Structure 1
């Protein structure tokens, strides 16, 4: 009798999991009990093939499950524009793995994890501050060009041989640190940069490993011994990162001139804004915990994304003969050999633009986009989607869409050229996402990618004793194993 009752309970539970709770959602693959569709995604790492296969089978709007979480996915560019852009306010909130966010951040702080009016205000302030510090202006270009000179010095001091990760991490990390804290790393304090980078990398590795995926999508597992240690390690990485950020706050508070209208860095701007709101509840949203989280967001969004894209860019050139040579011919013709590449050269460097665009498209850095949440009941095509449902704008499927980019799994810069050799723009090239959650640092990232990449290619003939592997490993982003480059000056 007890066994029969048990079977009935199991049958009812399976009926609920497999059918009842899915009945109103867009169609999609059948989820497994407890783990959802994680096994299918993990079997096809980094996930592109699973998402594209489901798109073919169920259409451009479908549902898959991560653990117990239903994720409604939109994979078609026109539909993304229709809903995520044109009705962006309905899809602007972020889904939170709340236990993790509370442990790691202290709550829904920063920009990435914030929501509602608080998020709107903080994002607007961050973008305005970045703009004041030269985003899209000559000031920021000058700062990047100065860092390029330092990168050239590093190459020379390394006897023209060093790893791609070291070169680009130092370059990108110095830009971020100088904008945030007002100083760049030198030989005396470079260890600080690597401490930040290592903590971020270890966190991402743990987060996106098999146990991490299970832990965050099936939360109760963190109380199981095999998973408890992972949670504790994440707390250690948090303390390393946020300890460094708090030290920067403390150092700034010792020296800041609150009466001065001039500010040297973003932290100084924020602390002055905080002082204006010091008599308001929670300092008007400009608290120190919010500042630490904004700094964290800028580091995590700015360092690995740009560094990884630059590393893959050189990797692709080393694996595709003729591309680097063609870039160098164009650079020599447009820029010459007496100066560095500047942003003013960009509109004449059609092939270089095509290569950078194809690097971003072919790399497809973010296989699964960050989670958003429907802020109200919405209709997505013929599907009713309830408020609170997870929405994923799956930009990776757009970048690998064969109708838009034929032979999408091949590296072909010429796809971004018109017949007359001029640069061809695609509105579907959306590596920085789209809508109200589009990357706030896109302007700086584009500036860094163009200037770092073209100037390195312009000045050096880059080779490698062994061609780097194009095998992709997945953390939060698509990572490449490190590789060593030989840099031979061209002039």
Structure 2
């Protein structure tokens, strides 16, 4: 989704491009191509057996094309970083994330060592993670949201009622409207509970030996936090496979944030783009349903519950009708 990519790119490099500009669409498409790398089975094997990275030719054309796109974007990032380095005012306020990083780099890595936390290599890695993950996961969650709304027209109707009552017909939705839309917030929290875009989460490795609930976990053990087990736990969420936003509304219909839900992980390894992702989800979802009604492609013929499972989870392609609301 080009508009999502444009927002992220502005935060990273201070660049905004018109949505009709072909460049932003091409960049978003390249990011989606790179995201296929993370959905490739070879990624699992390399994570478990790092030496396999020297045999990537075994992974096939899709994997090789994704790597090529990644290297292409990396060259593009290097050029933008160099432009920032030539124009930055180290005594002023940072213009964007890259400026902020370069200011910290000047303090912690003044000799510009090629390795380490404050190297250009690290900056390129972080920029890539934020751009790829921000586009892929946000877009996937919004697709899932539309999908579940098509399957739950009565919930979609309540969403329209709240948006029309609170926002009205002509106003442009802003983040300041979020506290006034408890039902929408509950719907967004429920979609993150029921879908879990990262079903097995990311792989981690223990840095030291640790004991949890009597179980000894040796140092350097690969562990996979299973957040979906909590999200679908019947003791925590009765009838867990039902899409029900009222789980997160109190007796007075106020939104209740639930800390049992961890779509962005937890702790120091939590998603660095969580705040941005939450803002994007709210703005785009609210705007979509403020202006449009989403219906099945054919009346009484709902799209099937079919998902693709890899490192991420996404809905298989489906068609729908989008009708402008009057």
TM-score range, shorter chain: 0.7 to 0.9
Aligned residue number for residue 480 of structure 1: 315
1:304 maps to 2:161: no
For residues 76-106 of structure 1, the C-alpha deviation after alignment (integer angstroms, 9 at most, x for no partner) is xxxxxxxxxxxxxxxxxxxxxxxxxxxxxxx
Aligned residue number for residue 400 of structure 1: 232
Aligned residue number for residue 269 of structure 1: 100
Aligned residue number for residue 380 of structure 1: 212
1:196 maps to 2:27: no
Question: How far off is 1:175 after superposition?
Answer: 0.9
Compared CA separation, residues 291 and 337, structure 1 to 2 (3 A): same
Distance, in Å, in 2 between the alignment partners of 1:250 and 1:454 is 38
Distance, in Å, in 2 between the alignment partners of 1:282 and 1:402 is 51
SS of alignment partner, residue 436 of structure 1 = helix
1:199-218 correspondence to structure 2 within 5 Å = 199-206=33-40, 209=41, 211-214=42-45, 216-218=47-49
1:460 maps to 2:295: no
Compared CA separation, residues 219 and 371, structure 1 to 2 (3 A): closer
1:233-252 correspondence to structure 2 within 5 Å = 233=65, 235-252=67-84
Distance, in Å, in 2 between the alignment partners of 1:482 and 1:201 is 16
TM-score under structure 2 length normalisation: 0.86
Task: Determine if contact 2:183/2:249 at 8 Å carries over to the other structure.
Answer: yes
Aligned residue number for residue 107 of structure 1: none
Distance, in Å, in 2 between the alignment partners of 1:391 and 1:221 is 19
Compared CA separation, residues 364 and 353, structure 1 to 2 (3 A): same
Task: Determine if contact 1:461/1:488 at 8 Å carries over to the other structure.
Answer: yes
Task: Determine if contact 1:330/1:351 at 8 Å carries over to the other structure.
Answer: yes
SS of alignment partner, residue 421 of structure 1 = coil
Question: How far off is 1:401 after superposition?
Answer: 0.6
SS of alignment partner, residue 79 of structure 2 = helix
For residues 207-242 of structure 1, the C-alpha deviation after alignment (integer angstroms, 9 at most, x for no partner) is xx3x55345435566677972646644542331231
Distance, in Å, in 1 between the alignment partners of 2:159 and 2:125 is 40
Q: Note the residue ranges of structure 2 that are not aligned, 5 or more in a row.
A: none
Q: Note the residue ranges of structure 1 that are not aligned, 5 or more in a row.
A: 1-168
Task: Determine if contact 2:35/2:132 at 8 Å carries over to the other structure.
Answer: no
For residues 116-159 of structure 1, the C-alpha deviation after alignment (integer angstroms, 9 at most, x for no partner) is xxxxxxxxxxxxxxxxxxxxxxxxxxxxxxxxxxxxxxxxxxxx
1:358 maps to 2:193: no
Aligned residue number for residue 290 of structure 1: 122
1:318 maps to 2:153: no
SS of alignment partner, residue 269 of structure 2 = coil
Question: How far off is 1:177 after superposition?
Answer: 0.6
Question: How far off is 1:355 after superposition?
Answer: 0.9
Aligned residue number for residue 342 of structure 1: 174
1:412 maps to 2:244: yes
Compared CA separation, residues 222 and 427, structure 1 to 2 (3 A): closer
Question: How far off is 1:354 after superposition?
Answer: 1.4
Task: Determine if contact 1:378/1:385 at 8 Å carries over to the other structure.
Answer: yes
Larger Rg: 1
Distance, in Å, in 1 between the alignment partners of 2:82 and 2:57 is 37
TM-score under structure 1 length normalisation: 0.59
Larger mean Cα displacement after TM superposition, 186-195 or 408-417: 186-195
Question: How far off is 1:286 after superposition?
Answer: 2.4
For the aligned residues, what is the CA RMSD? 2.7
Give the total of aligned pairs.
Answer: 319
Distance, in Å, in 2 between the alignment partners of 1:391 and 1:268 is 35
Distance, in Å, in 2 between the alignment partners of 1:220 and 1:270 is 31
SS of alignment partner, residue 419 of structure 1 = coil
Compared CA separation, residues 272 and 419, structure 1 to 2 (3 A): closer
Task: Determine if contact 2:37/2:67 at 8 Å carries over to the other structure.
Answer: no
Compared CA separation, residues 234 and 352, structure 1 to 2 (3 A): closer
Aligned residue number for residue 306 of structure 2: 471
For residues 310-331 of structure 1, the C-alpha deviation after alignment (integer angstroms, 9 at most, x for no partner) is 1110111012121111101011
Aligned residue number for residue 15 of structure 2: 183
